[in-house]
Amino acid sequence: MSASATKADPMDLSLDTLLCAYGADALTPTALVERLSDALDAYEEVDPAVWIYRIPKQDLLDRAKDLEAAAAENRGPLFGVPFAIKDNIDVAGLPSTMGCPEPLYTANKTSFAVQNLLDAGAILIGKTNLDQFATGLVGVRSPYGAPRCVFDGEYVSGGSSSGSAVAVAAGLATFSFGTDTAGSGRVPAGFNNIVGIKPTRGLLSTSGVFPANKTLDCLSIFALSAGDGDRIRRIAEGFDPEDPFSRAGDPAPLPLEKPRIGVPRADQLTFFGDGAAAELFDAAVVQAKALGWEVVNFDYEPFGATAKLLYGSAWVAERLAAVKPYLDRDLHPVTRQIIGGAGDYDAADAFEAIYAAQRLRTRCAEIAKDFDVILVPTSPTIYRVADVEADPIALNSNLGTYTNFVNLLDMAAVSVPAGFRANGLPFGVTLVGPGQSDGALAILADRLHRALHPRSGKHDAPLAAAPMTPDVGGDGLVTVCVVGAHLTGMPLNSQLTERNATLLETTRTAPDYRFYALADSVPPKPGLSRDPGFDGPGIEVELWQMPVEAFGGFVALIPQPLGIGTVTLADGRNVKGFICEPAGIATATEITNFGGWRAYRAAAA
Amino acid sequence: MSASATKADPMDLSLDTLLCAYGADALTPTALVERLSDALDAYEEVDPAVWIYRIPKQDLLDRAKDLEAAAAENRGPLFGVPFAIKDNIDVAGLPSTMGCPEPLYTANKTSFAVQNLLDAGAILIGKTNLDQFATGLVGVRSPYGAPRCVFDGEYVSGGSSSGSAVAVAAGLATFSFGTDTAGSGRVPAGFNNIVGIKPTRGLLSTSGVFPANKTLDCLSIFALSAGDGDRIRRIAEGFDPEDPFSRAGDPAPLPLEKPRIGVPRADQLTFFGDGAAAELFDAAVVQAKALGWEVVNFDYEPFGATAKLLYGSAWVAERLAAVKPYLDRDLHPVTRQIIGGAGDYDAADAFEAIYAAQRLRTRCAEIAKDFDVILVPTSPTIYRVADVEADPIALNSNLGTYTNFVNLLDMAAVSVPAGFRANGLPFGVTLVGPGQSDGALAILADRLHRALHPRSGKHDAPLAAAPMTPDVGGDGLVTVCVVGAHLTGMPLNSQLTERNATLLETTRTAPDYRFYALADSVPPKPGLSRDPGFDGPGIEVELWQMPVEAFGGFVALIPQPLGIGTVTLADGRNVKGFICEPAGIATATEITNFGGWRAYRAAAA
């Protein structure tokens, strides 16, 4: 396969495409490695700055053979899936440079999250270029050259996870790990027409990841779709006792049907003169409304003030704490200027910075009561490599306008493609949700991606992944079947919505349910009663999903003779739902023939 | 009332004693103020160093009159209850000295938590002496003199909340506020035979409290009993948007019947040669076992290492951050030495200290899996004022051996009286529980207090307060009535215990319940069915209490035909509990005559 053939015939490395091909024996890991090695070689000619270390082809083939040998017994969920990692992440036996001219060391242990991927059967392709010490949003602060935007070599790829973003956009890996402290996992996603997931802090262990701000650092994931990225996140995450900042997952829901979307007030949005970016962002807001989402304009001031803390206060000294042992190295001059300047802060300044962040958290939390997630441009604009080199700090800083606040506020974020400017450069938008909302946020991001520009990568190919669907019963969420006063529009529906419950579907019970109007119930309520063998119409029900932590409080509200038990649906599923004591049924009126509470109430009215 | 009469006839200022007297019109706030003013004057002769500022008697009388005038319409839950606050807490119009010779300012706003107390009808008596800037555990670092242990004037009162502890112990206030960063709310409780509650960080707002370590500071409560202290805590707490470190209550349960008590390994306990203290601590452990508590010895090393961080790392610079504007004042030489030394730490050191704390948190959390609460001496020993003055830093440091780790690990603590040494000096022990376990921890502390030494204060008077009882239904907890396989010793009981549920009582249902053995249920399970009008024996049930957040997960486990509804008990209470679908009852065998599942299973076996 020649380089030109690679460009003409790009491989679709989407997760399901690969896994289906493997499952159907239409592809083997060995064959994948062969084709991918050619593509990797070919792209070196297009952009030689993507990789700091590529795994030798023979090692890739050995890994493929090992996976194939084990496949009969065990195929992991990432069997044969190629991925790249940013070169500030350790893999046993490989050099870790952090973007320095010489490796800082050869790692003797593989980072926790990468090990999770390898254990799942993924194939590591190599380690990618980055802004030195992950300090930068441009990708040009590296002795290994500046990876370029996959659409125009004059423009920056974004950073600091520059090579990792380009690798996925260029079709060289199904996904990649970046890191994201200030936006390094989002900005380059926006510049290369791919998805960038910045998980909640601590969900992915940072053991074996070289720190920038250790209290804020996250591993991030680049992929072609939010669905692919979210699946990777779930496989990579897990509590790691070796990482003091590791956190167990504790999924928080978001309303999926009509989320309230916070958009910064128009006078607070800046695009640094990039009118095309402003138009694309306006169009994204219009599309969000078209999805039925409610748009709420909010005061971005404290979010912007939080963003400024990251480099404009003693927080920058956290970077110095990490880099101190390497200050005698041949550092990139811009990196040295930024991190070296942190020495002027004393310990009291550090605590003052922590207080300032905490005060802003309180202010932002108050404002955030008005919306469920934030929608912002991923970056206000994009710059040419030459322009960044001429003005390296100010232009870099501009790129973080909408990303820097996220980790300080302990939030999660997903950047998705949002179309192209007339000049052929892509634009991204980011949804930012509360910490631990990762799963639900990815679903919203996937919907937005498909509404705005359902394509991705250098070839702007249509999304191969199917739209994400909510997990029923997974993720700490419980599905509750309601049949009466809790239905949409009925008097007790607020007991669901105030618990952040989400309507999943309207369906029917199995046919062996009889349905009754309870006597003397205020507000009027029905009772379901299973009568094995009875062949009725099935009763109309709604399935609502809520966090299991909120479910107990819901159950506690239910009065005699009702309770929560198990309801069998028409398709055979068993879900939690309303049941009724025999004493309630004994004095009730059968209304099975109405087929549901709504029809009965309409007839009764 | 003369000073000698006060000593001979101390007032019982316990919360219920006062509130009952007010309720029965046997006492008025004015009469209370009159008697208390005499007692306050008399105690000035015993110890002139307790107060920095006493509210003038006429102002107290005016406050009493105001309360009486409003009483017909509204009596708050602390109507006419006298209290003191440490002089690092602001009250509008009063000077705030923080233990400095001149006030730092006159406050223009009353601190949030004090305002809550005033709104509840409490009467502020005055502001108490403290170790300057709340830095110390001795009470001697003050230009206002050293308050003395109420049992022996040669000994320190403990600090830094010295005056607040003495005020309560000497019967001059029902309760008082101290502050507690390193142990300042516990050490003086132990030295004066009273209860010291150190709530979970953030539950009581620190708005209007002069900071020591702003990230760690807590208001603390001194009282004669854990029950009184816990009631004050609930009235004083509340989310305060003005305090960036404020947290809403989110009560966590503790097993109340057979808690696992962690006690440091014998070789890790130190009493600095105070053999009497060692014996009293051993006796406390024996009594804990006699309460049915399981004692688990654990490795205290990382807890001790955490304690050392507070003054042995850049954390001390947080104190400097607060005191910086006042370094030109006439500071106590020891205070200046401790806080002044913090200038050597830079911002990177501060972040390193934060990482060290986070690493220790992870280690301690792993160890803490083996127990529910920790039992430690409040202080290893007690010192004479003269000895502390001769060796002010080392001896002070010794006193914090068992207190300094608590706030860094985000835990709650309650110190209770544990008896007296032969030399007439009291000893205290402290229970330390997880953050947000405050309510349950106070119940355990109250039980321990009553088991060890059910008396308190300078007069070592028997506890006037009734033993604390668990809130049923309050505090984010739900009571669940179980009747079959979830009973103690039955196969599904672990579904309760794994959710930290606590057995409250064994009782019976109302007489109108029939009881059935379900057909084909594995493990065997019964069904309860209410039959209004039926007059049966009532069915034996157990009431378990669990956090409402865990209840949903419990409900989700229950299979058809059972569910959770509402069960009526013999005494008329309605609680959440097991109900059964009619379809389950239809095929079941009635076993009502056995009166309960245990009797039926015994007969069936």
Most confident of A309-318, A340-349, B51-60, B565-574: B51-60
Instruction: Find the radius of gyration of the CA atoms of chain B.
Output: 26
Reported as half-sphere exposure (CB side, CA atoms, 13 A), residue B343 has a value of 7
The pLDDT, as a whole number, for residue B4 is 36
Q: What value does the mean pLDDT take over residues A423-439?
A: 96
Residues B546, B551: Cα–Cα separation, whole Å: 7
Whether the per-residue pLDDT at A465 is higher than 90: the answer is: no
Residues B418, B430: Cα–Cα separation, whole Å: 9
For A246, the closest chain B residue by CA position comes to B362
Contacts of B246 in chain A (CB under 8 A): 362
For B480, the closest chain A residue by CA position comes to A556
Residues B436, A292: Cα–Cα separation, whole Å: 39
For chain A, the farthest-separated pair of C-alpha atoms sits apart, in whole angstroms, at 85
Task: Supply the pTM of this predicted model.
Answer: 0.78
Distance from CA of A322 to the nearest CA of B (A): 8
Angle formed at CA B128 by CA B122 and CA B134, multiple of 5 degrees: 120
Contacts of B577 (CB under 8 A, 6+ apart): B480, B481, B482, B483, B528, B541, B564, B565, B566, B567
Q: Best residue in B362, B521, B581 to probe A by mutation, most A CBs within 10 Å?
A: B581
* CB nearest to A317's CB, from B318, B348, B558: B348
CB contact under 8 A, B324 and A348: yes
Pairing state of beta strands B513-517 and B526-530?
A: antiparallel
The pLDDT, as a whole number, for residue A3 is 34
Distance from CA of A118 to the nearest CA of B (A): 26
Instruction: Find the radius of gyration of the CA atoms of chain A.
Output: 26
The pLDDT, as a whole number, for residue A2 is 35
Contacts of B501 in chain A (CB under 8 A): none
At B344-396, the pLDDT tens digits run 899 989 999 999 999 999 999 999 999 999 999 999 999 999 999 999 999 99
Residue with tokens 């078209």: A290
The pLDDT, as a whole number, for residue A16 is 86
Residues A477, A496: Cα–Cα separation, whole Å: 13
At B27-48, the pLDDT tens digits run 999 999 999 999 999 999 999 9
Reported as half-sphere exposure (CB side, CA atoms, 13 A), residue B250 has a value of 10
Q: What value does the mean pLDDT take over residues B476-482?
A: 85
The pLDDT, as a whole number, for residue A474 is 45
Q: Are B475 and B239 in contact (CB under 8 A)?
A: no
Whether the per-residue pLDDT at B471 is higher than 60: the answer is: no
* Predicted-complex ipTM score: 0.76
Q: Are B124 and B85 in contact (CB under 8 A)?
A: yes
- The confidence band for A476, taking pLDDT boundaries of 50, 70 and 90, is low
Confirm or reject contact between A549 and chain B (CB < 8 A): yes
The pLDDT, as a whole number, for residue B453 is 96
Residues B595, B508: Cα–Cα separation, whole Å: 9
For A513, the closest chain B residue by CA position comes to B583
How many Cβ atoms are within 10 Å of A172's Cβ, its own excluded?
A: 30
CB contact under 8 A, A346 and B345: yes
Confirm or reject contact between B317 and chain A (CB < 8 A): yes
Q: B 155-214 residues with CB below 8 A of A?
A: 214
Computed from CA positions of residues B148, B152, B154, B155, in that sequence, does the dihedral angle turn out positive or negative? negative
Confirm or reject contact between A559 and chain B (CB < 8 A): yes
Confirm or reject contact between B522 and chain A (CB < 8 A): no
Contacts of A481 in chain B (CB under 8 A): none
Residues B268, B250: Cα–Cα separation, whole Å: 33
* Residues of A designated catalytic: 86, 160, 184
Whether the per-residue pLDDT at A536 is higher than 80: the answer is: yes
Estimate the crossing angle of helix A301-312 against helix A347-368, to 10 degrees: 160
Q: Best residue in B112, B313, B351 to probe A by mutation, most A CBs within 10 Å?
A: B351
Confirm or reject contact between A566 and chain B (CB < 8 A): yes
Distance from CA of B530 to the nearest CA of A (A): 6
Tokens of A426: 């892509």
Angle formed at CA B166 by CA B160 and CA B171, multiple of 5 degrees: 155
Q: What value does the mean pLDDT take over residues A168-193?
A: 98
Q: Is A357 in a helix, a strand, or coil?
A: helix
At B187-231, the pLDDT tens digits run 999 999 999 999 999 999 999 999 999 999 999 999 999 999 999
Q: Are A440 and A504 in contact (CB under 8 A)?
A: no
What is the DSSP code string of B225-261?
Answer: SHHHHHHHHHHH----TTSTT----------SSS-EE
Residues A164, A416: Cα–Cα separation, whole Å: 16
Contacts of A63 (CB under 8 A, 6+ apart): A29, A33, A55, A123, A124
Residues B301, B264: Cα–Cα separation, whole Å: 9
Q: Are A524 and A601 in contact (CB under 8 A)?
A: yes
Whether the per-residue pLDDT at A139 is higher than 70: the answer is: yes
Whether the per-residue pLDDT at A9 is higher than 60: the answer is: no
Dihedral (Cα; A49, A51, A56, A59), 10-degree rounding: -160
CB contact under 8 A, A318 and B214: no
Confirm or reject contact between B245 and chain A (CB < 8 A): yes
Residues A272, A387: Cα–Cα separation, whole Å: 14
Query: Which amino acid, one-letter code, is at B2?
Result: S
Tokens of B25: 């019109």
Helix spans in A237-300 (H): 275-290
